[in-house]
Amino acid sequence: MTTIIRPLQQADAAGLAKDCFPDLAPEDVLDAVREDLALQEAGQGITLIAAEDGRVGVHAKLLKQGDSGWVFNVASHADFRGRGIVQDLLADLARRARAMGIVRLLAHVRADNRRARRAYEKAGFRSVGQDGMRGEQLRYELDIFP
C-alpha cells in the first residue's frame, strides 16, 4: 500500500472527521479545514495529511509565528500507527517549513501521552521543559535551519 503525504484539501474533511477526529462533529471539522486552507493561502501555515487508497489517516497542522512554527493537531487513525507515517509526515512538514523561512518547530504534548511523545522523539524533536499551569504539557522543539 502506498502512503501519500500532501497538503490538506477541502475534500479531505469527511475522511478527517471519520478517521482522525471522530469525537468532533463533521461540520466542526469542515470549519477547521476551511480555516486551515485560508492560513495556507495566506502563507501563515500548512496542514498536511497522509492517505492510503484515498483514506485520510494522519493529520498535522503547522502555524507560522515569526521564524518558528507551531505544530498542532497531530492525529492518526490506529491503522496508520506504528509504521513511521507520522515521522514521515513531520519530516515533510519540516522541509516545507524551512521553505517558509521557519528555523524551529515547536509543539506541546501532554505529559501523559506516551505515544505522542515517542512519535515526536522519533521524528527528532526533543523535550525542552514543561508548560501549562500544572506542568501537564511538555514542550518539544526541533531545530530545522539549513
Among 112, 146, 111, which residue's Cα sits nearest to residue 127? 111
Query: Quick check: helix, strand or coil at residue 138?
Result: strand
- pLDDT of 10-27, one tens digit each? 999 999 999 999 999 999
Domain spans of the chain? Answer: 3-143
Per the CB < 8 A criterion, the answer to whether 137 and 106 are in contact is: no
pTM comes to 0.91
**pLDDT tens digits for 26-81?**
999 999 999 999 999 999 999 999 999 999 999 999 999 999 999 999 999 999 99
The 10s digit of each residue's pLDDT in 108-142 is 999 899 999 999 999 999 999 887 666 688 999 99
Contact call for residues 111 and 137 (beta carbons, < 8 A) = yes
Phi, psi of 42 (to 5 degrees): -85, 0
Cβ–Cβ < 8 Å for 64, 44: yes
Q: Which CATH number fits domain 3-143: 3.20.190.10, 3.40.50.970, 3.55.40.10, 3.40.630.30?
A: 3.40.630.30
